[in-house]
Every structure is written in C-alpha cells, then in structure tokens.
Structure 1
C-alpha cells in the first residue's frame, strides 16, 4: 500500500472518530510521496494512535495536520495539533496564536 493511501485512511478514520465524539476538528494531510510499504498494519496502527491521541487532546475544536515527507534517507511523519481555546471555530491566523504540539516519527528508508 502506498504511504499516501495509508495516511488518507488515518485521516478518514479520525474524521469519523471526531464526529462520534462530537468535536469540531479540521484535518489537513500533506503527503506527496511515491513510496509503498509492506508494513501496513504496524504503520497504520502507530499513525492512527498518534492522530487519535491528538483528537482526544482537543477539548472542543481544533486542527490536526498529518505530514509525511522524506528527509535525506528518513521517512518522517509529523502530527501537529492545535486547540482553539473555548471557541468553536476561528481563522487560521487566529489559530496561530494558540498552543500547538508536534509529534515526529522517523523511519529509515532502504
């Protein structure tokens, strides 16, 4: 399975999870890679767990960005989460004022 397809599955699953827990979270996916993996279930499990944790860390509304990119010989996954404090929604410029957290996961590409 391609890395892009796998990341798309993670985002779609967590969009549904967000609806289930009645939160307003915007998701962004950046993955312009032409790579595949045989370790679909392991990688899917790890990425889904990281993104689901980001969903759970947002009280009401926020934004989550899943990015996959190559950095030299490493495949780097970054999950960024922003919480919109006590507000249902706000602009991207306003969101930059709020605290965010990043989780970075690296794999060696052979």
Structure 2
C-alpha cells in the first residue's frame, strides 16, 4: 500500500489530502457505548469489534458499510455524532500521540 501522506513542516495537512489527521482529543478514549446510537448501529459496531471512538474514526465509510446489517442510516447517524465532536470517519491517528494522551489523561485522573 502507498505510504501515508505526511503533514507539511508546520504540521498543517496539505490541501486536498484525503485523510485528515485527527485532532487528538479525549473523546477518542470514550467507549462507543457512550454515544447515543440506535440499537442497530450499536450492535453493528460490536459485531465489527469497534470498542472505542478511536477504533471508530479510523474506519472508512466503505469499511463500516461492509459490516453485516450496517446501512446508510446507521452510517449517517454515526457521522452526525462524530461531527458534533469535531471528528470524522477515515482519520489517521498517530499511535504514539494516542499513547501520550492516554498517559496524560490517566495522570490527571490519578491527581
């Protein structure tokens, strides 16, 4: 597969880059059960083994639509909810940044 597009020096994504990099935010660590999804959409995510919002945003629309019983209605529902959090499907997450944020959040909860 082709290498992932790299952000420019300033950390800005190139215009026209297909996959935006996710703003790393704590919503990514929330469980998808916390999203107010319909039972069908929720069950489809479980079937697809999607547990956290981070798991979800790294999926593309096409990948989700391949999930059994997952249709356009569920897709639109999920896109709307992610949009309200400033997230979208098909994002690239840097595993190191995710890990750093997770550690930071754990420290802030321990404090």
Task: From the two aligned structures, give the one with the greater helix fraction.
Answer: 2
When normalised by structure 1's length, the TM-score is 0.23
When normalised by structure 2's length, the TM-score is 0.23
Compare CA radii of gyration and give the structure with the larger one: 2
